[in-house]
């Protein structure tokens, strides 16, 4: 068992865990606005969605108050706090699930930690001023994601000499910087950042080489759900990308991914369980032979 501490909860990351996405934003690329009414988050809808995801097998819920889709408009810290904190507080108090907060803002990290969050999930890899210090203050683990550029410009012709090498080097540098600041590397999770400053070719190369990205043996979080790479390969609109998303789930589980960040929890849990059952049978046969 590979135990990982998320605040006051522990998960076994030798088994792939499913993280349900809860975007409390009006403009996220896939589900923006579905939990909104009259330009504000609908807490009743959000809690119903959260309960449904937990019932379907999500062990982590990722709450985000700022869209990071290409070209997304930035929101103020106060607006992000207003969107995120009531959700974190209600879910933490009412559901047996780990609450992850998808944020780059130190203020949101600290306040969410006080209200019961168990993970800081930062697309900017704790790059904003004060973010590392905020994580240290909360005592929570953090997920570091690779992104080339910023959400506003990241998809404007991204280039790499070798995307695999560059992502690995980025992780090594950020892990070293976190450790130097006082964050033990065993509190870190890594996310290759599918769709964040990468072409379809870059994304496919990363998907085919996940194991080398687990720098220092740290857990990998994979987020490919409904993304444009699937649309580009299959020619499918956002609402038609479930099958392609599930294919990337199976591929990720087979390569040792620890957490899958998804919109479609029920279907993903089935794929994870089935893939792991096949993998376990293979291991047992090999040991027996």
pLDDT higher than threshold 90 for residue 281: no
For residue 39, what pLDDT is reported?
59
Q: Could you tell me the pLDDT band of residue 25, with boundaries at 50, 70 and 90? A: confident
pLDDT higher than threshold 80 for residue 36: no
Angle, CA of 113, 45 and 84, to the nearest 5°: 25
pLDDT higher than threshold 60 for residue 225: yes
Q: Which helix (H) or strand (E) holds 212?
A: none
Residues 2/14, Cβ–Cβ less than 8 Å: yes
pLDDT digits (tens, 9 = 90+) for 237-280: 999 999 999 999 999 999 999 999 999 999 999 999 999 999 98
For residue 21, what pLDDT is reported?
96
HSE-up (13 A, CA, CB side) for residue 238: 7
pLDDT digits (tens, 9 = 90+) for 130-185: 999 999 999 999 999 999 866 655 566 778 999 999 999 999 999 999 999 999 99
pLDDT higher than threshold 80 for residue 1: no
Residues contacting residue 221 through CB under 8 Å, at least 6 positions apart: 19, 121, 143, 145, 189, 190, 191, 257, 258, 259, 260, 261
Report how many domains make up the chain.
Answer: 1
For residue 229, what pLDDT is reported?
96
148 is catalytic: no
Residues 85/115, Cβ–Cβ less than 8 Å: yes
Distances from the Cα of 112 to the Cαs of 11, 57, 83, in angstroms? Answer: 20, 23, 11
Closest CA to 29 of 66, 65, 67, 64: 67
What average pLDDT does the chain have? Answer: 91
Question: Of the residues 148, 174, 198, 261, which is catalytic?
Answer: 261
d(CA 202, CA 182): 33
261 is catalytic: yes
Residue with tokens 């992104």: 147
For residue 133, what pLDDT is reported?
98
Phi, psi (rounded to 5 degrees) for 251: -60, -40
pLDDT above 90 covers a percentage of the chain that reads 80
d(CA 197, CA 178): 23
pLDDT digits (tens, 9 = 90+) for 76-126: 999 999 999 999 999 999 999 999 999 999 999 999 999 999 999 999 999
pLDDT above 70 covers a percentage of the chain that reads 88
pLDDT digits (tens, 9 = 90+) for 54-70: 999 999 999 999 877 66
CATH code where residue 33 lies: 3.20.20.20
Q: What is the b/e burial string over 205-234, where b = at least 16 CB atoms within 10 angstroms of the residue's CB?
A: bbbeebeebbbeebbbbbbbbbbbbbbeee
d(CA 199, CA 229): 8
d(CA 255, CA 36): 36
pLDDT higher than threshold 90 for residue 11: yes
pLDDT digits (tens, 9 = 90+) for 192-207: 999 999 999 999 999 9
Question: Of the residues 227, 236, 241, 266, which is catalytic?
Answer: 227
Its domain, for residue 72, covers 3-288
């Amino acid at each position: 068992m590979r135990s990982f501490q998320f605040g006051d909860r522990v998960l076994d990351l030798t088994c792939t865990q499913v993280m349900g996405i809860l975007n409390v934003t009006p403009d996220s690329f896939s589900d923006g606005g579905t939990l909104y009414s009259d330009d504000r988050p609908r807490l009743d809808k959000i809690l119903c969605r959260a309960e449904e995801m937990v019932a379907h097998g999500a062990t982590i819920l990722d709450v985000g108050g700022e869209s990071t889709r290409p070209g997304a408009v930035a929101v103020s810290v106060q607006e992000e706090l207003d969107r995120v904190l009531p959700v974190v507080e209600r879910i933490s108090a009412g559901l047996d699930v780990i609450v992850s907060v998808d944020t780059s803002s130190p203020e949101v990290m600290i306040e969410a930690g006080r209200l019961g969050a168990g993970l800081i999930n930062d697309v900017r890899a704790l790059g904003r001023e004060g973010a590392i210090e905020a994580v240290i203050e909360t005592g929570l683990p953090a997920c570091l994601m690779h992104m080339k550029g910023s959400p506003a410009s990241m998809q404007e012709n991204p280039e790499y000499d070798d995307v695999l090498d560059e992502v690995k080097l980025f992780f090594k540098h950020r892990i070293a910087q976190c450790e130097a600041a006082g964050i033990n590397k065993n509190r870190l999770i890594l996310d290759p950042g599918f769709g964040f400053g990468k072409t379809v070719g870059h994304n496919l190369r990363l998907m085919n080489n996940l194991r080398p990205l687990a720098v220092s043996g740290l857990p990998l979080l994979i987020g490919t759900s409904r993304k444009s790479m699937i649309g580009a390969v299959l020619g499918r609109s956002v609402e038609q990308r479930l099958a392609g998303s599930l294919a990337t789930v199976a591929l990720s589980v087979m390569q040792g991914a620890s957490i899958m960040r998804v919109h479609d929890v029920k279907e993903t849990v089935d794929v994870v369980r089935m893939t792991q059952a096949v993998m376990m049978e293979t291991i047992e046969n090999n040991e027996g032979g």
